[in-house]
Amino acid sequence: MQIHILTLFPELMEAPFRHSMMKRAIEKGHLHLYIHNIRNWSTNKHNQVDDTQYGGGAGMVMMPEPIARCLDELQAETPFDEIIFVTPDGELLDQPTANRLSGTQNIAILCGHYKGVDQRIREKYITKEVSIGNYVLTGGELAAAVIADAVVRLIPGVLGDETSALEDSFQDGLLSPPVYTRPADFRGIPVPEVLQSGHTANIATWRHEQALIRTRERRPELYEKFMQGE
Ligand code: ADE
């Protein structure tokens, strides 16, 4: 899968892909990641990429031309399945969206900054607007990294254990049950006996019950939805 990230701050995008699973996804060839500095597509002799707002008001707006030139050039090579703009007024990212995106071949993620991006880019190029939560970040880079991480770990072969992505919180509509490792007794707190029993069916039942309890307590709206589907 190819992911192209368009940003004014390419250095911000480096660390998340240099470690752990994302690094391995790149090394194994599952992810081809391209970070593009929008400034390189500026037509202005000062490499300007933002300008004041029409109508007045504080804050600069990202100019349409450099972004359009960058996207046109990239699309001429391989058309994008989705061109995503990360923005707090987008659709909230959830697991079904990550699942769907992990099945695509080539996506672009545009990171906004300052006051935002000229509306004409959003209308002419953007196919999907995504928010990672109901709060405002200083720019789209961290949101783009979150989306890429959520998507790339779902590409078959990226996670060592093929089943582990299927057992994630949200994949079946429930939160994950608690997990334990050694020692069996940590400062007087024991690991639940059933997990030490080796009885696979009992363990599966316990985990399902715990997932139900956790979801009901922490995310009642997910619990209701799950119970309606049962
Ligand atoms: N840019 C700024 N805040 C954001 C958010 N919550 N989600 C996605 N992109 C953003």
Atom nearest to 130 CA in ligand 1: 8
Q: Is residue 114 part of a domain?
A: yes
Q: Is residue 161 part of a domain?
A: no
Determine the structural domain holding residue 31 and report its residue range: 2-152
Q: Distance, CA 146 to ligand 1 centroid (Å)?
A: 10
- Count how many domains the chain has: 2
Domain boundary among 127, 152, 177: 152
Q: What is the C-alpha separation between 71 and 191, in angstroms, rounded? A: 53
- At 145 the pLDDT is 98
Q: Is residue 158 part of a domain?
A: no
Residues 138 and 178 both lie in one domain: no
Residues 108 and 172 both lie in one domain: no
CATH number at residue 147: 3.40.1280.10
Counting as low any pLDDT under 70, the low residues of the chain are: 161-163
Q: Distance, CA 82 to ligand 1 centroid (Å)?
A: 18
- At 35 the pLDDT is 98
The whole model's pTM is what? 0.93
Whether 177 lines ligand 1, by a CB cut-off of 6 Å, is: no
Q: Is residue 159 part of a domain?
A: no
Strand partners, 89: none
- At 168 the pLDDT is 82
Q: In which residue are the tokens 């991006």 written? A: 117
- At 164 the pLDDT is 74
- At 230 the pLDDT is 78
Residues 108 and 221 both lie in one domain: no
Write the pLDDT tens digit of every residue in 37-63: 999 999 999 999 999 999 999 999 999
- At 162 the pLDDT is 55
Judge whether 70 and 77 are in contact, CB under 8 Å.
no
Sign for the CA dihedral angle at 22, 26, 32, 34 comes to positive
Residues 130 and 45 both lie in one domain: yes
Residues 148 and 192 both lie in one domain: no
Q: What is the C-alpha separation between 105 and 102, in angstroms, rounded? A: 8
Output the CA–CA distances (angstroms, integers) from residue 141 to 64, 151, 173, 205, in the order listed.
18, 15, 28, 41
Nearest protein CA to atom 6 of ligand 1, as residue: 88
Q: Is residue 191 part of a domain?
A: yes
Residues 53 and 140 both lie in one domain: yes
Amino acid at 181: T
Write the pLDDT tens digit of every residue in 166-199: 778 888 899 999 999 999 999 999 999 999 999 9
Q: What is the C-alpha separation between 147 and 157, in angstroms, rounded? A: 18
Strand partners, 117: 62
Whether 33 lines ligand 1, by a CB cut-off of 6 Å, is: no
Nearest protein CA to atom 2 of ligand 1, as residue: 137
Whether 135 lines ligand 1, by a CB cut-off of 6 Å, is: yes
Q: Distance, CA 158 to ligand 1 centroid (Å)?
A: 26
- At 163 the pLDDT is 59
CATH number at residue 175: 1.10.1270.20
Residues 92 and 124 both lie in one domain: yes
- At 161 the pLDDT is 67
Q: Distance, CA 88 to ligand 1 centroid (Å)?
A: 4
